[in-house]
A and B are shown apart, each in its own frame.
Chain A
Amino acid sequence: MSTVAAGLSTLDRLDRLARRDTVVHRVDPRAKVVTTFVFILCVVSFDRYEVLALLPFVLFPVVLASEGGIPFGFLGRILLVVSPFALLVGAFNPWFDREVVAQFGGLELSGGWVSYASIVLRFLLTTAAALVLTATTSFNGVCLALEKLRVPDVFVTQLLLLYRYIFVLGEETLRLSQARRLRSFGGRGMGLRVYTQMLGQLLLRTVARAQRIYLAMKCRGFDGQVRMAKRLHFGAADLVFVLGWSAAFALFRIVDVPQWLGRLVTGVAG
């Protein structure tokens, strides 16, 4: 269960990065949320065989990360940890889709491989953008933005509480698994049966805690809506941020920039 500890420390690091003060951090959370949303929309809207036209989109997470002081190594490690998901999702494409779409000398490239590459690339792009958003805005900042953007309270409250208690739950899980390891000898007691019972135990504890939290909230006048005191200021610079990036995404979406560049270069050469 050391993955739980690793996960917690990653979240913790994201949190600390989000408390920095850079140009990117100072952009209104709403501007960053909206821009990231437009980015994701553009990236996922491409045809499934598109790979090269996606490349210019790398600019967004890279520029934001470097301006926001987010270490690339840190982002890369998280992407690596979560990438098996995307690698699995598209893993069967090369088997199902064997139609040859391109030839390099004697090497034939099937449509399956192209769409697989496209899936992985899109996954990397969207995840990187979401990570950079969180690392420069903080999870709670994102929630605040969502609330101000009139996302229903139920979702925002869920997200806020989820993030607050993921640390408590994670630590509880660590303690539970530690207690098991200490009394398991020679691999006995580490089986699936005990594991499922531990999960059940964790669920019961979580339900009990949720009840106590709810009581504590009721004591302080909770009526179904979490009111956040922080006020945000959406200035001209924020507007420029949203419009500028959105225009760039639209351009990348409509014009195949790599192809256009290629034509430009070959045209000049020719």
Chain B
Amino acid sequence: MAKYLLLKHYRGAPAAVNDVPMEHWTPEEISAHVQYMNDFAARLQETGEFVDAQALAPGGTFVRYDGEGRPPVTDGPFAETKDLVAGWMVIDVEGYERAVELAGELSAAPGAGGKPIHEWLELRPFLGTPPTITE
């Protein structure tokens, strides 16, 4: 088994095929999209492949250590940040092929006009536990 992160970007991914911003969809199209995402997660729960899913607020703060006895420095949010993560889903699947298959399904979520968004999702493998037998 292998864990993968399905990463959804607000910004930073190549443009989707059906690239209409959500605020220009009809309410029904938004509902259909949300329903599709929920059904997808429910189906993965049913197969025992679902680990976690979270959505992130877009506004983030950068924080860094500023030396002994001083409070951390904060900066941002930066409106011009090129890469902005919207959320993720963690799956635990048999292998890479299955992960690609599922990412493809998720990318087919309906958007404007009820048509698939064809959104680019980033698929990242987790670094796993080393096997015992290596030689």
A and B assemble together: no
